[in-house]
Amino acid sequence: MNPIGINTFLFTSPFVNGSVELFSTFADWGFDTVEIAAEDPLQLDAAAIKAALEKNNLRCISVAAAFGPDRDLRGTTEQQQTSIKYIKDTIDFTKAVGGELVVGPLYSSVGRADAVSVADYELQEKTVVAHLKELCKYAAEKEIKLAIEPLNRFETDFINTCEQGLNLIEKVGSDSLYLHLDTFHMNIEEKHLGEAIIKAGEKLALLHACGSDRGTPGWDHTNWNDIKRALETINYKGQLVIESFTPEVKVIAKAASIWRTIDGSGETIAREGLKFLRGQFG
């Protein structure tokens, strides 16, 4: 049975030490894991957070990294260095809370989407590959894996599809680098979600399970039976994490263009999404 988790962005941003109060609620609802969105890991008390997870019989397997304009592995020299330090700090935090994965669009700031020449793209890619090699080495020393997330075309021009993600992973050439897929982004960019999952194969380290409108998984047109068959085909044992948003968490709502209430409260999305995923992937 796949562990089912909840990303903290559904309820708060930024995640702070006091946010551990959410854990008892998540546990009461029946979640197995919490995916902490670590926007500023240096401000977090990893020991206290780990203790709160254990108290509520929860795990934090994956930590979601956040990339604003100042964090960009293909940006200015300053942005690159800021991003490298942030990712290393997030790796340290993940290790400290007992996690295994640092996930997200590790390659670029979110929202950077421009048409560039082939030559410019190749130069950006070369820069990102060099940095990811360094970061993968650091992650391996900490026994942590990195997983890059393709985003839709409105959020990045760099990695949109599973195939592009796999190509980047191949260029980096590290056993510490994996793929993180999200059904919301896949719904926009992939021809066929199931085929993309099968293509990812053993490199798939995490699946974000979201409605096609960023709402409740199962309350949408996504072919979840196809996704189930694909995950069974590759013998996927990883998490299914709900990463949905509401207008109430204003910073994230603006970043993700959530202008309207989609499926009611965060509680509705979490509880109904969990119910569906348990039934579908049991």
Could you list the active site residues? 149, 243
Q: Are 242 and 7 in contact (CB under 8 A)?
A: yes
Sign of CA dihedral 56, 92, 102, 259: positive
Left if phi > 0, otherwise alpha if psi is -120 to 50, otherwise beta: which for 221? alpha
Tell me the torsion sign for CA atoms 77, 82, 85, 88: negative
At residue 282, what is the residue type?
Answer: G
Strands (E), the chain: 4-7, 33-37, 62-64, 101-104, 145-148, 177-182, 204-208, 240-242
In the DSSP assignment, the letter for residue 99 is -
Residue 116's identity, in one-letter code, is V
Q: Of 273, 280, 281, whose CA–CA distance to 29 is shortest?
A: 273
Residue 84 near residue 70 (C-beta atoms within 8 A):
no
Angle at 204 between CA 201 and CA 207, to 5 degrees: 125
Distance from C-alpha of 193 to C-alpha of 186, rounded to nearest angstrom:
6
Three-state DSSP class for 103? strand
Q: Does residue 222 contact residue 183 with C-beta atoms inside 8 Å?
A: yes
Strand partners, 147: 103, 178
